[in-house]
Amino acid sequence: MQKKTTKINSTAMELGILGASIAGIAAAYFFLGPKGKKHQKQMKVWAIKMKADVVEKLEEARDISEPIFHQIIDSIAEEYEQKAKIGREEIQLLAKDLKKHWKLISKEAGIDK
């Protein structure tokens, strides 16, 4: 007899998978992207913190869809542009790369919207 998964457990699992996927994507971009060699030598705390902030906002969201995913990334990127001493270009590159991976993330998390 199959167990039925409750909506809460299913959502929590989806968010966990989504968070892990985002963490992996951000790390891969950071270390293997166009400036990967430079980043490998100079680890920047802001990228890890920005990724954590994105994951936190995703966990707070009740429904996750591609537009909401993009909106969360944009809002976090905007916050970092205003408060951090980081080049706008670097922040936007990370945000753009995260957005590209929506299909993979939604597939892994089982979000088909």
pLDDT number for residue 73: 92
- For residues 101-111, average pLDDT: 76
State both tokens at 36: 């990967």
* 47-90 per-position pLDDT tens digit: 778 888 888 888 787 778 889 889 999 999 999 888 877 778 88
This prediction's pTM: 0.60
Residues contacting residue 19 through CB under 8 Å, at least 6 positions apart: 55, 58, 59
**Which residue has better confidence, 97 or 14?**
97
pLDDT number for residue 9: 59
Give 4-24 as a 3 state SS string. Answer: CCCHHHHHHHHHHHHHHHHHH
* 11-52 per-position pLDDT tens digit: 766 777 777 777 777 777 766 777 776 765 555 677 778 888
pLDDT number for residue 5: 47
Provide the residue ranges of all domains of the chain, joining segments of one domain with +.
Answer: 7-109
